[in-house]
Homo-oligomer: A and B are copies of this chain.
Amino acid sequence: MAGTKQAATTGSEPAFACPVSPVVDIVFSRWTTPVLWALHAYGRQRFVELERRIGTITPKVLTQRLRQLERDGLVVRTYHPEVPPRVEYEISELGLSLAPLFAHLSEWGAAHLGQVEEARRAYDADPARR
């Protein structure tokens, strides 16, 4: 892993570059993941469909997230100049390149979230650690 290379540099230099953080900022901000997931799972769709699927998201936050994802090139917005005008969103090719990563994340969750739950119970039950 890249960590090996980093460990070889002077340990005391501040603000070491975590190579994961930039990806996290783009893909894993709160609500970004469910929006990408819904577009990936259900294909091209309109704003109201997305909103209904995600359920607990507000229209304002959904608008912000879609704009951010469009700007980052992960989502494509198509405007159909009809009466009334119709706007659809779909995942881009770049967004699709995240699919193996999302699959990997959800596999890790399936395999290990039980252990996280168990660790939390043990931690909360230990009075010395609270």
A residues near B (Cβ < 8 Å) are 1-4, 6-7, 11-16, 18-24, 26, 28, 33-34, 37-38, 40-43, 49, 52-56, 70-74, 94, 97-106, 108-113, 115-116, 118-120, 122-124, 129
B37 close to A99 (CB less than 8 A): no
Checking B6, B104, B122 against A41 with a beta-carbon cut-off of 8 angstroms, the contacting residue is: B6
By DSSP majority rule, is chain A's interface helix, strand, loop, or mixed?
Answer: helix
Please, which residues of chain B bring their CB within 8 A of the CB of A111?
97
How many copies of this chain sit in the oligomeric assembly?
2
Q: A3-B40, A71-B119, A71-B123 in contact; A105/B11 too (CB < 8 A)?
A: no
B33 close to A72 (CB less than 8 A): no
